[in-house]
A = this chain, B = another copy of it.
Amino acid sequence: MKLSTRSRYGLRAMLELALAYGTKPMQIRMIAEKQDISNKYLEQLIAIMRASGLVRSIRGPKGGYLLSKPPAEIKLSEIFTTLEGPMVAVDCLEHPEYCPRCADCVTRSIWADIQDAMMGVLEATTLQDLADKASSGADSADYRI
């Protein structure tokens, strides 16, 4: 099981915006360069996050993107579910009617446990937490994967 580039690139881009928060808008090109991500591809990922309201944009020269709220108010779970889709391991977690025996299905409860475990981590961490860690260690906002 692998995370797609969507969440990986997306989180890195958001962290970049978090580090620039309160200064000036940051352009796609700048983010893509710093993070070594395809310009055009990142454009699409950010569009998804703009649609969900996580970031806002300013057009024209000197434009770019900004977090739409302070990093401390953005939980990683928001970013993750925006990019990766609703984090449901199996459909019957959301739609119990799909399966006549959901109530006492033992495999279902395992998938639910897994999902809760993952979301627990993502709910407990904000962009601010990441930004703090990143700026404490050298210039470590700089990674490849």
Taken together as a complex, chains A and B put the C-alpha atoms of A90 and B5 apart, in Å, by: 9
A57 at interface, CB cutoff 8 A: no
A101 at interface, CB cutoff 8 A: yes
Q: Which of A101, A108, A125, A141 has the most B CB atoms < 10 Å from its CB?
A: A101
Q: Is the interface of A mostly helix, strand, loop or mixed?
A: helix
Taken together as a complex, chains A and B put the C-alpha atoms of A109 and B145 apart, in Å, by: 12
Taking residues whose C-beta sits less than 8 angstroms from the other chain, chain A's interface range is: 35 or more
Kindly list chain B residues whose C-beta atoms are within 8 Å of the C-beta of A114.
118, 121-122
Taken together as a complex, chains A and B put the C-alpha atoms of A35 and B138 apart, in Å, by: 54
**Contact digits for A87-130, partner B, Cβ 8 Å, 1 yes 0 no:** 11111100000111110111111110110011011100100001
8 nearest A-B residue pairs (beta carbon): A104-B137, A117-B117, A104-B140, A105-B143, A92-B145, A99-B144, A106-B133, A99-B145
A residues near B, CB below 8 A?
1-3, 8, 11-12, 15, 76, 84-85, 87-92, 98-102, 104-111, 113-114, 117-118, 120-122, 125, 130, 133-134, 137-138, 140-145
Instruction: Report 24 cross-chain contacts, Cβ distance below 8 Å, ordered by A residue.
Output: A2-B89, A2-B90, A3-B89, A8-B111, A12-B107, A76-B110, A91-B145, A99-B144, A101-B142, A101-B144, A104-B137, A104-B138, A104-B140, A106-B140, A107-B130, A107-B143, A108-B145, A109-B133, A110-B130, A114-B121, A114-B122, A117-B118, A117-B120, A117-B121
